Amino acid sequence: MENKNYQQLTRIFTRLSRFSHLSSIASWDAFAMMPPGGSAARGEALAELSVLQHQILTDKQVAQWIAGAEQEALNDVEQANLREMTRHYQQAALLPESLVEAKSLAGSKCEHAWRTQRPANDWAGFSANLKEVVKVSREEAKLRAEAKGCTPYDALLDIFEPDMTSAQLDVLFADLKSWLPDLLQQVVEKQTRTPLIAPTGPFPIATQRELGLETMAQLGFDFNAGRLDVSAHPFCGGVPEDVRITTRYDEQELLSALFGVVHETGHARYEQNLPRNWLGQPIALARSTAIHESQSLFFEMQLGRSNAFLKRLLPSVVARFGDQPAFSEENFIAWNQRVKPGFIRVDADEVSYPAHVVLRYEIERALINGEIEVDDIPALWNEKMQSWLGLSTEGNYRNGCMQDIHWTDGGFGYFPSYTLGAMYAAQLFHAARTALPDLDNAIAQGDFSALFDWLRQNIWQHGSRFTTAQLIESATGEGLDSKYFRAHLTARYL
């Protein structure tokens, strides 16, 4: 049998991908459907599954097959798949089974309690659970860092963003800090000169849902392979053959649920268009969290908040909710492009959003590297919110350091992906516009086919075949450059 080591590996990874499928649907159910009483049992079941996957992946035969496959005559796709298999194996092999289980259990417990602790503003209760999550995350980071020869935080960052380092992030974020606060101030000053009319509700949830489903269909979501539900925190989960997205509704707020749906549809279209002939293999997975985030921000911000798209959307809004002064074309566009620094990251406009990300990045890096402790988070959070956005979160844990789900299950190293994703999205949209000179016109007509074909050709179909740097360079002709993000914000808002 040809390439027998490689073939053995493909079988193992197909098996792992099936378990991962079950795990992601069970997790989706826990967020969207499960009654609260099921939490402890579900947490234990998911921990058991993560231990099983860990056992399969770290079996000593896997290391032998990897070594053997490296000597076999593989084509370039197989070599890329082997590179990704090796990465997954090395990341798993560093961790003892007991730590995998402890991390899963601590995360389930912290996340489930957070759902009631956050509305209650209960920092004391939340921090007790978070300390356990941080403890196991630091253990994991230490093991990974020793093997990679890097800082503990960089070792966790590498899981979400292969080959990215905090040294590179510091350069990118220092650049942002040099111009973003000024830009933010200019935009806010400019916008206060034009008074806006707020849409007046209520906006019935059932009607909001219909609008969301219609918009998903226009954006090409495949309902034969996915669905829309409700959760406390919008997300995209499931697997390419069955993508689950969620949003959350507020009857007084028309557009946050809709743009939550547009954002998650960007994630979903990427998943639904990953290379089908490689499914079950690591090469068929999304390249990284920042590339994933670039797709959701491409949909939500580059496309969704553009004048052309908003003009196209407005008649559907009026048809469903009736006409009102806020729905004049000029006001509707301005309302959707308003910049208003606030407490909540997921509701932030795209100009102030990076402030939320850099703040979290600086805190979580210091936390994982052991420079600060959990008890230091609220004061640091308040200090950074004051300096970036002029807002105080003192005593307001619910809308401050307790607002996100990421840290509850040890997702340290994830936050930078959001702003990296915004930078990638701006660069990709610029490249798409250069390749498709009639793009704005097509968007205004509601014809997104050329744009989605461009994404399919340049991003979606490649999965993890290329490194992030190679993928961006082949799509845009150059490496990541934050100038496109700056140019986009300046053009849209100033």
Catalytic residue positions, numbered: 264
Q: How far apart are CA 268 and CA 459, in angstroms?
A: 13
> Among positive and negative, which fits the CA dihedral 265, 474, 302, 414?
positive
In the Cβ-directed half-sphere of 435, how many Cα atoms lie within 13 Å? Answer: 17
Amino acid at 377: I
* Structural contact between residues 345 and 403, judged by C-beta atoms closer than 8 angstroms: yes
Who's near 27: CB < 8 A, 6+ residues apart?
46, 237
* Structural contact between residues 128 and 434, judged by C-beta atoms closer than 8 angstroms: no
The position carrying tokens 């914000």 is 489
The position carrying tokens 């996915």 is 226
Q: Which residue from 235, 237, 266 is spatially nearest to 248, judged by alpha carbons?
A: 235
Q: How far apart are CA 257 and CA 244, in angstroms?
A: 16
Q: Phi and psi at residue 20, in whole multiples of 5°?
A: -65, -35
Question: The tokens of 91 are what?
Answer: 């990341």
Q: What is the three-class DSSP state of 194?
A: coil
Q: How far apart are CA 400 and CA 342, in angstroms?
A: 10
Q: Where are the beta strands (DSSP E) in 249-350?
A: none
Q: How far apart are CA 300 and CA 261, in angstroms?
A: 9
Q: How far apart are CA 81 and CA 123, in angstroms?
A: 44
Q: Which residue from 419, 426, 418 is spatially nearest to 484, judged by alpha carbons?
A: 426
